[in-house]
């Protein structure tokens, strides 16, 4: 039954985060602000253990994940750096950015040439 509540929390929190991201708009400044806000909130929710697991799922994976996936990326980077895994963190950051940018470019190229 706990898994059900975790999934429900992610679903509800994700919906709220996505709506807030949509309302913030798509401008570069707005996206930057949303990424900063999401990272800040992810840090708070990560440390606070007073939340029950379903609420923590709703806030972290749901709300913050819906608001910005950059917050999850940032948390993974923080955990690696906090564990003194600096090389892994650097490789993760570089590969994530380069491969994701290449994936967007491939998607754009495919959409323009095939469809």
Per-residue confidence (pLDDT) for residue 50, from 0 to 100: 82
Per-residue confidence (pLDDT) for residue 27, from 0 to 100: 81
Per-residue confidence (pLDDT) for residue 1, from 0 to 100: 75
Q: Rounded distance, CA 114 to CA 15, Å?
A: 33
pLDDT digits (tens, 9 = 90+) for 21-57: 999 887 888 889 999 999 999 999 999 878 899 999 9
pLDDT digits (tens, 9 = 90+) for 67-81: 998 999 999 999 999
Write down the pTM of the prediction.
Answer: 0.82
Residue 12: how many CB atoms within 10 A of its CB? 16
Does the structure show a pLDDT above 90 at 58? yes
């Amino acid at each position: 039954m706990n898994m059900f509540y975790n999934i429900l929390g992610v679903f509800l929190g994700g919906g709220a985060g996505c709506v807030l991201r949509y309302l913030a708009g798509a401008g570069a400044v707005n996206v930057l602000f949303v990424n900063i806000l999401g990272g800040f909130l992810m840090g708070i929710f990560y440390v606070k253990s007073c939340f029950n697991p379903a609420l923590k799922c709703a806030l972290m994976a749901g709300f913050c994940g819906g608001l910005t996936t950059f917050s999850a990326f940032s948390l993974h980077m923080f955990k690696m750096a906090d564990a003194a895994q600096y090389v892994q963190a650097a490789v993760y950051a570089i590969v994530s950015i380069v491969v994701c940018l290449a994936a967007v470019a491939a998607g754009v190229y495919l959409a323009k040439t095939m469809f």
